[in-house]
Chains A and B, each alone.
Chain A
Amino acid sequence: MDQRVLLLVGTKKGVFILDEDGAAGDAWRVRGPLCEGWPINVVCHDPATGRLYAGGGSPWFGAAVWRSDDLGETWTHSSAGLNYGADEPPLRSIWQITPAHGALYAGVEPAGLFRSTDGGVTWTHVAGLRDHPTQPGWQPGNGGLICHTVLAHPNDPERMWVGISSVGCFATEDGGATWEARNRGVRADYMPEKYPETGQCVHKMTLASGMPDRLYQQNHCGTYRSDDAGKSWVCLDEGLPSTFGFPMVAHPRDAETVFSVPLNGAELGRFVPDARMAVWTTRDAGRTWRDLRDGLPQEDAYLGVLRDAMAVDTLDPFGVYLGTNTGQVFASRDEGEHWTRIADLLPPIYSVETAVVSA
């Protein structure tokens, strides 16, 4: 069956969908702004239902999960159940939406996790995460106290991981009832104790394809891999131009390959190093790294790529896509070797995800 790729782009000013259907050459059709121009941190496609979900928060109207049953033509929204109760702070925004095992999970700000079993119409707090004994001491990162990563084990619905800034990685093996901090080996350079139980500023984690006990992590303080489901991490910084960046994206089929976008540093503007843009990849689980630059701007590129703003599709060869915090979208249809700018002048881009649909 012929397939086409949709790029789902969350921005400071709503959702945009880039559609290669009807494209002439390398041109992509841009639809948007959708979701009434709300700041949208994440957009995803649930292949099981065909629905799109978008998560964000309006400064006026609060946090909501948006849903589209027609690939973005029309949207509804809901916040039913998305709160911690009357005596707790209100939710500011939704940062992650993860479909898994027939349910939908939302990572939110202030950091916590919610579950929906009716396609995002109503939500229930997964209270076990905020019951963790370290919760009273959780500190926000620069983006807020946010649960920005929610990873579901591909086969076992009882097992999940979340990433919270700047708190770290947590895992559950009982469907969310209890959680364990899993940050051993991850540095917190800005803390008096460099290897605390929690307090690490995880920026993004991803599961290795086909090897669910292997995770990769881009952190405020380094790049890491775990081969034991997050219980311990090894540093992969050697060969990378910096220890700071946001995205971490896995190859759709190879557990040894991931992609990242190192930036020059937390206090140096958070630009690509030397204002020359590159995606970095390893094909050997982080032992060696290589920069991919062909088609990406190589001078005066004072930009960055935020934590959810890079994605792959599932084609063979697969595509890699990224959006910048200055509003450009770049695409590679050959696994990162060559890049083309396919959109420009969008609002600052918070997230990029793919949907492979029937042509």
Chain B
Amino acid sequence: MATVVLPRSLVALFPGSERRVSVDGSTVREVIDALDARWPGMRDRLCIPGPVLREYINVFVDAHPADLATPVPPGGTVHVLPAVAGGSRPG
């Protein structure tokens, strides 16, 4: 079981979701699958088809930068953070 810390701006999109949740998953991808099972559509907010993490979504496992394949140890903490850069679009 991992602890996931979600951003306010994501929780606001899914009524009933919480900033700090416990889910099963041994990789970041499995953690996101578990979040999507609990709140359908949450994967689409975090990933593009592939799946691949969206450009301005940063994930950390126990404070280390992570991608979908990164292992999540039992009792680990996964932070999902919108990048500061995401507020403006390039070009």
Which residues of A are in contact with B by a Cβ distance under 8 Å? 36, 58-62, 64, 77-80, 83-86, 88, 90, 92
Contact = CB atoms under 8 A, between A and B. Distances in A.
Contacts of A60: 9, 54, 56-57, 82-83, 86
Nearest to B82: A60
A61 B45 contact: yes
Nearest to A35: B13
Nearest to B90: A59
Contact of A62 (B44, B50, B89): B44
24 contacts: A36-B9, A36-B12, A58-B45, A59-B56, A59-B88, A59-B89, A60-B54, A60-B56, A60-B83, A60-B86, A61-B45, A61-B57, A62-B45, A64-B44, A77-B13, A77-B41, A79-B41, A80-B44, A83-B49, A84-B49, A86-B50, A90-B49, A90-B54, A92-B89
B48 interface: yes
B68 interface: no
A148 B45 CA distance: 23
A88 B88 CA distance: 23
A234 B87 CA distance: 42
Given A58-B45, A77-B41, A80-B44, 15 more contacts: A36-B13, A59-B56, A59-B87, A60-B54, A61-B10, A61-B45, A61-B54, A62-B48, A77-B13, A78-B41, A79-B41, A83-B48, A86-B50, A88-B49, A90-B54
- A-B pairs, 5 with minimum CB distance: A90-B48, A61-B45, A79-B44, A59-B86, A60-B82
B44 A86 contact: no
Contacts, number: 47
Interface of B: 9-10, 12-13, 41, 44-46, 48-50, 54, 56-57, 82-83, 86-89
A78 B12 CA distance: 14
A92 B89 CA distance: 10
B74 to A, nearest CB: 29
A79 B41 CA distance: 7
Contact of B41 (A59, A80, A86): A80
A59 B41 CA distance: 17
Contact of A86 (B49, B82, B83): B49
A61 B9 CA distance: 9
A62 B82 CA distance: 12
A52 B46 CA distance: 25
B52 to A, nearest CB: 8
Nearest to B88: A59
A58 B56 CA distance: 10
Contacts of B50: 86
Contacts of A86: 49-50
A79 B43 CA distance: 10
Contacts of B87: 59
B38 to A, nearest CB: 16
A317 to B, nearest CB: 41
A235 B44 CA distance: 44
A59 B82 CA distance: 9
A84 B48 CA distance: 10
Contacts of B41: 77-80
A64 B42 CA distance: 12
Contacts of A64: 44
Contacts of A90: 48-49, 54
A151 B53 CA distance: 34
A62 B54 CA distance: 8
A148 to B, nearest CB: 16
A85 to B, nearest CB: 6
